[in-house]
């Protein structure tokens, strides 16, 4: 269970530096993925909702809607599950998916939801419908006709395209970066993370240490 700790901020950087390169790659990937998804949801998807509703989404409501849509997108996007992925990160892709989801929630307007994150479908269409319904509820809209309208327009096509290409795009970006550059970028981002997001990463590092310890003891 993720929790806050006074020592998290001071211990996270040295803990990250002690990880092996694959584990460092995983943290960089999760930070990049969560930030990119939130940006794209706010820039590309929320404006479609605003045009459909004929009113702006602002403030706390916008933050919550972006969080729901981004979490759903991460739940249904196509993660690779091949040797190339393992070679780069050394772990189960689903673990990284979960970390990225929690990072989105950790920086949402209601970070405590990271303790009880919503369960969105892996199917692209189902996840989209769930997310649109949740986002409209947050915005105070209960009109089922608007849900159907959003799911039958540009929003649905963009969702399908984005969820299919998201992970390959992020991985392509990583392949062009030197390990030292990823480390430097991660350390810069850690400085600006919320306490909840830092705790998510600390929990992930703790899990890595536990798994390594179990593996060593089993030898």
Indicate if the pLDDT at residue 62 is higher than 60. Answer: yes
Give mean pLDDT, residues 90-97.
Answer: 84
CB 32 within 8 A of CB 88: no
Which DSSP letter does residue 153 get? S
pLDDT at 76: 94
Q: Is-contact 194 107, C-beta < 8 A?
A: yes
Instruction: Say which residue, 127 or 142, is predicted with more confidence.
Output: 127
Task: Give the range with max mean pLDDT: 2-11, 70-79, 146-155.
Answer: 70-79
| Cβ contact 16:82 at 8 Å | no
Which region among 155-159, 161-165, 170-174 has the lowest average model confidence (pLDDT)? 170-174
Of 5, 25, 12, 20, the C-alpha closest to 185 is: 25
What value does the mean pLDDT of the chain take?
Answer: 84
Mean pLDDT, range 168-175, rounded to an integer: 86
Contacts 24+ apart (CB under 8 A), 84-91: 85/171, 88/22, 88/25, 88/171, 88/174, 89/22, 89/23, 89/25, 89/26, 89/29, 90/20, 90/22, 90/23, 90/26, 91/22, 91/23, 91/26
Residue 59 has pLDDT above 70, yes or no: yes
**pLDDT over 90 at 37, yes or no:** yes
- Percent with pLDDT over 70 in the chain: 86
- Do 16 and 85 contact (CB within 8 A), yes or no? no
Structure tokens at 169: 């795009």
Q: Which of 122, 97, 117 is nearest to 105 (CA)?
A: 117
For residue 38, what pLDDT is reported? 95
At residue 162 the predicted structure's pLDDT band, cuts being 50, 70 and 90, is very high
C-alpha dihedral, 123 to 124 to 125 to 128, nearest 10°: 120
6 pLDDT more than 50: no
Residue 8: band (very low, low, confident or very high) from pLDDT cuts 50, 70, 90: low
| Nearest alpha-carbon partner for 162 in 62, 52, 34, 76 | 76
Query: For residue 78, how many other CB atoms are within 10 A of its CB?
Result: 13
pTM score: 0.86
**Predicted pLDDT at 78:** 85
pLDDT at 7 over 70: no
pLDDT value at residue 117: 59
Confidence band, pLDDT 50/70/90 cuts, at residue 105: confident
Name the more confident of 129 and 10.
129
Residues written for the chain: 219
pLDDT of residue 216 exceeding 50: no
13: nearest Cα among 178, 195, 201, 180: 201
List the chain domain ranges: 30-210
């Amino acid at each position: 269970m993720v929790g806050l700790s006074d020592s998290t901020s001071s211990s996270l950087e040295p803990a990250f530096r002690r990880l092996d390169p694959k584990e460092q790659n995983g943290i960089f990937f999760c930070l990049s993925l969560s930030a990119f998804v939130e940006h794209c949801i706010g820039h590309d998807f929320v404006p479609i909702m605003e045009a459909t509703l004929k009113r702006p989404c602002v403030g706390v409501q916008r933050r919550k809607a972006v969080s729901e849509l981004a979490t759903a997108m991460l739940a249904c996007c196509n993660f690779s599950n091949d040797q190339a992925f393992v070679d780069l990160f050394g772990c189960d892709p689903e673990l990284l998916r979960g970390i990225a989801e929690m990072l989105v929630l950790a920086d949402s307007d209601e970070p405590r939801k990271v303790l009880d994150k919503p369960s969105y479908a892996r199917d692209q269409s189902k996840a989209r419908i769930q997310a649109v319904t949740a986002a409209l509820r947050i915005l105070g809209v209960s009109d089922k006709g608007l849900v159907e309208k959003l799911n039958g327009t540009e929003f649905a096509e963009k969702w399908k395209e984005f969820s299919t290409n998201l992970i390959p795009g992020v991985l392509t970006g990583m392949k062009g970066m030197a390990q030292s550059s990823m480390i430097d970028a991660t350390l810069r981002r850690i400085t600006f993370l919320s306490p909840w997001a830092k705790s998510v990463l600390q929990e992930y590092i703790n899990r890595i240490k536990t798994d390594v310890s179990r593996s060593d003891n089993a030898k």
